Chain A
Amino acid sequence: MMHTSCPIPKFDFDIITLAHGSGGLLTQRLLEWGVFDLLKNDALLQQHDGAVLEVEQKIAFSTDSYVVAPIFFPGGTIGDLAVNGTVNDLSMCGAAPRYLSLAFILEEGLPVLDFWKVLVSIRDAAQKAGVMIVTGDTKVVEKGKGDQIFINTSGIGYVHPKAYIHHQRIEPGDRIILSGPVANHGIAIMSRREGLEFETTIESDTRNLNIITQQLIEAFGDAIHFMRDPTRGGVATVLNETARQTNWGITLQQQAIPLEEQVEGACEMLGLDPLYVANEGLFLAVVNRQSANAFVSMLKAEKGFEQAAIIGTIVEEHPGTVVLHNKAGGRSVVPFLTGEQLPRIC
C-alpha cells in the first residue's frame, strides 16, 4: 500500500546521484536521515558491517531479488514485494520470519521522493509481518545500468516445532489447497506496464503469509505435507515442479480454482492463462485427506482468505504430470511453460 502519512525529511537533494553510493558524506546523509531513521531497531542502529543475532533453534534461511517494473503498482510497491516475498518464502518452510537484510541497487537519477515512498512501504510491510531489518547495503549504478530500484532481501526465521514440510512427504490422496484467487498480482502489474495500460481496479495481492501459516501449522502440524507460494510462473509452474519432484500425478478441478471475474476478463483480453500468472500473496498447501476440509475451514475464517479452496488431489496416475479437469468436462495437461508466457495473436 502507498502511505503518504510519513512526510519525507528535508534532504538537500532531489534525485539520487552516484555520490549517494560512494560511501562518503552523501551516503551517510541518505542512510541516517532516510533508511536508519525509518527502519530503526537496535541491531540496525549499531551501523556495523553486519548484525550479530541470538539464535536458539532450528532456522530457515532464504533470499530473493526484486526487479519489478513499474516500482509502484495498484496494491503495492517494490518495497512491499521485497519484504513480503522473503517473509513468504520463509513461511513456506514452516518458519516464523524474524530478521531481514535489505540491499538496494539504485539507478542514478531516481527521485528521492520515490526512494522514500519505497522505504516507507518497506517499514510498514516489515511491521505488519513482525520482522526486523537488521543489516543492509545501498549501491548506486549509472543511469541505464539499472531500472530505478532493484532490491535484494534475505531472511532468517524460526522453524515451527510442529512443522514437517518436505516434498517427500507428499503422497497420493493428499489434497491441494489454494489460499485465494489467482493472477491478481500479475494482472495488476500488466495493467500499468508501458504500452499496455488499461483501466481496472484489480490490485496486487501482495501480503505477508507468516501469521496465517504459523496458525495453520500450530493447528494441523505434520498433516501439512508441503507448502509453496506460487509467485513467478504461477500455480501451474509450482504444481508442475511438485509433480516432477515427487513423481506423483496431480489432478486439478478448474471449477474449484478461485479466479475473480475481472481478472479472468483481463486474462481473456490479454491472451494469458491465469494459472501461469504471478501471485504475491497466495500459497498452495498439500494436506492429508483427513485434515483438508478442516484446514480450508480455518483458512476461510481468516480475513483475506475467504476464497480458499481444495483445488486438486495428488494421484498415482500420470506420474510427473498435472492434469486439469476443465469446466467443459474434458481433460488437458497443464504443461510446463517453455519460457515466459507470451500473449497470443488471436
Chain B
Amino acid sequence: MKYLNEYRNPELIQHYLTELHKRALKPCTIMEVCGGQTHSLVKNGILELLPPAITMVHGPGCPVCVTPVSIIDEAIFLSEQPEVILCSYGDMLRVPGTQKSLLEAKAAGADIRILYSPLEAVSLAAQHPDKEVVFFAVGFETTAPANALSVVMAHKQGIHNYSILASQVLVPPAMVALLNDPENRIDAFLAAGHVCTIMGTDAYEPIARKYKKPIVVTGFEPVDLLQGILKAVVQLEQGLNQVENQYSRIVTTEGNRKAQETIDAVFSVQDRNWRGLGSIPQSGYEVNEQYQHYNARMKFQLHEQQVEEERVCISGAIMKGLKKPFECPHFGKACQPQHPLGAPMVSSEGACAAYYHYQPSKQQTPHLS
C-alpha cells in the first residue's frame, strides 16, 4: 500500500483543506475530468469539506458512461452468437442496452467472461480454437495500450479467432468540445492522471493557452485531489493558465512512448459518438486497416444502429457546470443506476450515480448536505 497510504494521510488532508479554505476566496468552477477522480471525491466525502467558493464539476471521463447504447447493443449481439466468447471488463456488464444488459444476456446463456486484462482473452482464444473470442475494448487512452497489445500479441502468435470491439475515446477532444460550448462555466481543469501517464502532458499545452484555463494533471487519492485543486486555485488567483503536473510521481511530459507506439501501430483516430455529448471530431480509436482481421466490427460485419438518446437527461448541463445531479427532476426517481436515463447515471464513476450511491440528495438525507 506504499504510494497510496501517504496520499490518504489524514493530517496531510487536513493541511491542504486548511490551505484551501485560506486561499479559495473568489468563486471558481473546477472540472475533474476523470470518473475515477469523481468517484474518489464523492466516496471520500471531500466535496462537503471544500470551501464554499469552490464548485467541482464532474467531467465526461467515465468510459462506461460515455459508451453509446448502440455499442452496448453490438456487444450483446456478439455475445449471443453461438460461436462467440465475449470478454469484458466487469463494470460494462450491468449497463443497459436497448433491450437488455450483458449481465442479462449472460443469464440467458451467452458465454460472457469478466477479465482484468485483454491478454487473458488472447490466451482464451488460444485455448478455444473452435470459438471466436471477442474482447470488448472500452476505455480512454489508459486502456488503449493493453487493448492494442492484445491485437499485436494475437497477430504474433498466429491466433486468428481473436478480435476486439473497440469503444476507445480520447480526453483532449472532449475537453475542447466542452470549452467550445459558450454556456460552459469551467474555470480550470484537473486532467486525468492515468490518461496522462500514457499520453504525457504535451497535448494539454495548446488547450490551456487557447482557452486560457489552468490544467492541473492530478492523481486519484484524497491528497492528490486536494493538491490538484489547490494548484488550480493558486493559478486562478494569480491569473495563470499553465499545464501543471501534480501527479509527477507517475506522469512525465512525454508520457509512455512504448505504449503510444503500440496504440499507433493498431489504432487510427476517428470521429466518435459519445453518450451524453454526441459526436465529437477525432475523439476515438478504431482498429486500423493493417489489423482489420482483429476488428470485430469487420469480422462480424456489424453496422452500428443509431439509438435515440433519452431527451430528458441534463448531462450536458451537468458537465458544463450549469447544474448539479440532484437539481435534475428525474434524479433518483425515473433515473436510477438500474435504469439510467442518461450517461452519468450508468456507472458509479458517473457523476449522477456517484451522488446517488454515496451522497444522496438533500431531500433524502439532510445530514449530508
> Are A329 and B357 neighbours in the complex by a CB distance under 8 Å?
no
Q: What sequence of 0s and 1s flags, for each residue 324-362 of chain B, a beta carbon within 8 Å of any chain A beta carbon? A: 000000000000011000000001110000001111100
Q: Which residues of B contact A344 (CB under 8 A)?
A: 39, 89-91, 347-349
With both beta carbons as reference points, the residue of chain B lying nearest to A315 in the complex is identified as B367
> Are A331 and B93 neighbours in the complex by a CB distance under 8 Å?
no
Other 5 A-B pairs with CB < 8 A, given A332-B43, A345-B92: A323-B367, A333-B357, A345-B63, A345-B89, A346-B63
**B368 at interface by CB-CB < 8 Å:** yes
How distant is the Cα of A342 from the Cα of B359 in the complex, in angstroms?
20
Q: Top 5 nearest A-B pairs by Cβ distance? A: A330-B45, A342-B90, A343-B90, A332-B358, A328-B222
**A54 at interface by CB-CB < 8 Å:** no
Size of interface on A: residues with Cβ below 8 Å to B: 29
Q: Which residues of B contact A261 (CB under 8 A)?
A: 1
With both beta carbons as reference points, the residue of chain A lying nearest to B349 in the complex is identified as A344
Q: Which of A168-176, A216-224, A265-273 contacts B (4 or more CB under 8 A)?
A: A265-273
Known A264-B1, A318-B367: A330·B89 in contact at CB below 8 Å: no
Known A195-B113, A328-B44, A343-B114: A335·B13 in contact at CB below 8 Å: no
Q: Which residues of B contact A338 (CB under 8 A)?
A: 94, 337-338
Q: Which residues of B contact A318 (CB under 8 A)?
A: 365, 367-368
> Are B4 and A271 neighbours in the complex by a CB distance under 8 Å?
no
How distant is the Cα of A343 from the Cα of B349 in the complex, in angstroms?
12
With both beta carbons as reference points, the residue of chain A lying nearest to B222 in the complex is identified as A328
> Can you show 21 pairs from A to B with CB atoms below 8 A apart?
A195-B120, A261-B1, A265-B1, A270-B116, A321-B365, A323-B368, A326-B45, A327-B8, A328-B10, A328-B45, A331-B45, A333-B359, A333-B368, A342-B94, A342-B114, A344-B89, A345-B64, A345-B89, A345-B143, A346-B143, A346-B349
Interface members, chain B 117-167 (any A CB < 8 Å): 120, 124, 138-140, 142-143
> Are A328 and B8 neighbours in the complex by a CB distance under 8 Å?
yes
The distance from the CB of A219 to the nearest CB of chain B, in whole angstroms, is 35
> Are B44 and A332 neighbours in the complex by a CB distance under 8 Å?
yes
**B320 at interface by CB-CB < 8 Å:** no
- Which of B45, B64, B360: most chain A Cβ within 10 A? B45
> Are B49 and A339 neighbours in the complex by a CB distance under 8 Å?
no
With both beta carbons as reference points, the residue of chain B lying nearest to A343 in the complex is identified as B90
Interface members, chain B 28-85 (any A CB < 8 Å): 34-36, 39, 42-49, 63-64
> Are B89 and A343 neighbours in the complex by a CB distance under 8 Å?
yes
**A317 at interface by CB-CB < 8 Å:** yes
The distance from the CB of A80 to the nearest CB of chain B, in whole angstroms, is 26
Q: Which residues of A contact B231 (CB under 8 A)?
A: none
**B103 at interface by CB-CB < 8 Å:** yes
> Are A317 and B116 neighbours in the complex by a CB distance under 8 Å?
no
**B272 at interface by CB-CB < 8 Å:** no
**B250 at interface by CB-CB < 8 Å:** no
> Are B93 and A342 neighbours in the complex by a CB distance under 8 Å?
yes
How distant is the Cα of A335 from the Cα of B337 in the complex, in angstroms?
12
Cross-chain contact of B116 among A321, A323, A333, A343 (Cβ < 8 A): A343
**B297 at interface by CB-CB < 8 Å:** no
Q: What sequence of 0s and 1s flags, for each residue 77-99 of chain A, a beta carbon within 8 Å of any chain B beta carbon? A: 00000000000000000000000
The distance from the CB of A137 to the nearest CB of chain B, in whole angstroms, is 28
How distant is the Cα of A333 from the Cα of B368 in the complex, in angstroms?
9
> Are B91 and A345 neighbours in the complex by a CB distance under 8 Å?
yes
Cross-chain contact of B358 among A270, A333, A339 (Cβ < 8 A): A333
